[in-house]
Amino acid sequence: MSKIGFASDHAGFELKEFVKSYVAQKGFSYKDFGAFTIESSDYPDFAHPLAEAVESGEVDLGVALCGSGNGISMTLNKHRGVRAAICWNTDIARVTRAHNDANILVLPARFITSEDAKEIITIFFNTPFEGGRHLRRIEKIPCLSF
């Protein structure tokens, strides 16, 4: 089984706690990089450690949450080895894994239900990367000026 990394800000905290229990029930181990309360917090403080853990292989995949999903996604995608994708339904989750080999699922906590999150996570974790022509495109993602 894979090890999953989690990160959220205050807006994503409650849904993150729900999702952590769901993935634990499915047999996954996890590491939580914060936030650890609903007190106001800054998503970069938790996104960067998650991104570094994905890049280093400390965790296999990540799940990140903030209110809209945008702020934490922008932060995560500053890291060369990260392909974070905001998913608000199962179709997006399926395509982003199959075509983009996303390694961090970003959930917009204020716009989805806990049941939506379970369905999205299930699809994200169970969809393999198709490779082929998609691999060529993924290899072109990193910015050469890094």
The answer as to whether 79 is a domain residue is yes
Question: 96, 116, 100: which is closest to 108 by C-alpha?
Answer: 116
Percent of the chain past pLDDT 70, that is, above it, reads: 97
Chain Cα centroid distance, residue 55? 13
pLDDT on residue 77: 95
- Which of 79, 87, 99, 143 is the catalytic position? 99
CATH number of the domain that residue 85 is part of: 3.40.1400.10
The answer as to whether 118 is a domain residue is yes
Q: What is the pLDDT of residues 81-123, one digit of tens each?
A: 999 999 999 999 999 999 999 999 999 999 999 999 999 999 9
Report field, pTM of the whole predicted structure over 0.85: yes
The answer as to whether 56 is a domain residue is yes
Owning domain of residue 122: 3-139
Dihedral, CA atoms, 90, 107, 140, 135, nearest 10 degrees?
A: -30
The answer as to whether 37 is a domain residue is yes
Question: Into how many domains does the chain fold?
Answer: 1
CA triple 81-84-87, angle to 5 deg: 160
The answer as to whether 36 is a domain residue is yes
The answer as to whether 102 is a domain residue is yes
Peptide bond into 35 cis (omega under 30): yes
- Which of 10, 66, 79, 87 is the catalytic position? 66
3-state DSSP call for residue 66?
Answer: strand
Task: Provide the pLDDT confidence category of residue 1 given band limits of 50, 70 and 90.
Answer: low
Contacts of 65 (CB under 8 A, 6+ apart): 7, 8, 9, 11, 12, 13, 15, 16, 19, 72, 106, 107, 108, 109
Percent of the chain past pLDDT 90, that is, above it, reads: 86
Look up 99 and say whether it is catalytic: yes
The answer as to whether 57 is a domain residue is yes
Res. 146: pLDDT tops 80 = no
Look up 79 and say whether it is catalytic: no
Question: 51, 22, 5, 10: which is closest to 116 by C-alpha?
Answer: 22
Task: Provide the pLDDT confidence category of residue 145 given band limits of 50, 70 and 90.
Answer: low
The answer as to whether 107 is a domain residue is yes
